Amino acid sequence: MFIPCKLVILILALTLDGQVHTGENIGGREAVPHSRPYMVLLKRHMQDGKTLWCGGFLLNEDFVMTTAHCQARSYTVFLGVHNFRESNGVQRIRAEQAFPHKDYNSTSRENDIMLLKLSSKVDFSKNVKPIALADRDDDFLPESCSISGWGRTDRETQYMSLVLVEADVTLIVDEWCQRGNFYCSEGETGPSEGDSGGSLVCEDGKAYGVVSFTLKPNSGGPFIHGYTKIADRRRQIDLTNDASKGSYYCQI
């Protein structure tokens, strides 16, 4: 039996009058192979038979975190990937259950976060390791962060990257972002289509946010990239296996 996870992460509705996209890693570089062993590639099997892709990251041997807007009929999770054409050492595990935030709003991207429970335990290795979640106060703004994924590397192409790409981003002090309880960066460099669900990792090596959207304000100005905040002090998502009951539950 699985008790749905109540992810109490409050993100206010996005109110900017611009066009929102589910990503676009532009301005990045190829990552050193397997330097981000927590990154996973999600193959999304949709209701209409199509296959789409998102990113995600490993929390422990049983759970992956991604965005709620990456929901699908079913998922195949690829771990230990760098170049998607190379299968050596890559683990493929089906996600047996999805836990999107109960208050996720597909229009506003409010509460855009989701957990995937894997059908079997991950085999940790030098290429497959979990990442810790941030434990700093919400008003703490990291100085140096990075993102990664297999999304588009050029706004003119329709194709995803075959290799993991990373990019450095600088978080901005912005009243709207603070009210919305998410981190933001701005400019051409940022996540791209296919990068949604990846992690925003900052100077202490922990995950602070989940890649959610890219927005171009109608009033002009640079692209704004949004990352759903993960942590509120140490009240982070605590995934616990209660072996006596044969269940998993979330404790915030």
How many structural domains compose the chain? Answer: 1
Question: CA–CA distance from 186 to each of 41, 122, 152, 213 (Å)?
Answer: 25, 35, 18, 12
Q: Is 112 a catalytic residue?
A: yes
Q: Is residue 47 part of a domain?
A: yes
Mean per-residue pLDDT of the chain: 81
CATH number of domain containing 81: 2.40.10.10
pLDDT band (50, 70, 90) for residue 156: low
Mean pLDDT, rounded, for 163-169: 95
The answer to whether the predicted template modeling score (pTM) of the entire model surpasses 0.95 is: no
- Residue 46 lies in domain: 37-130
Percent of the chain beyond pLDDT 70?
78
Q: Which of 69, 82, 101, 225 is catalytic?
A: 69
Q: Is 69 a catalytic residue?
A: yes
Residue-wise pLDDT tens digits, 102-145: 888 888 787 889 999 999 999 999 999 999 998 766 667 888 99
Q: Is residue 88 part of a domain?
A: yes
Q: Which of 185, 192, 196, 212 is catalytic?
A: 196
Mean pLDDT, rounded, for 12-22: 33
Q: Is 137 a catalytic residue?
A: no
Q: Which of 112, 161, 195, 199 is catalytic?
A: 112
Size of the chain, expressed as the number of residues it contains: 252
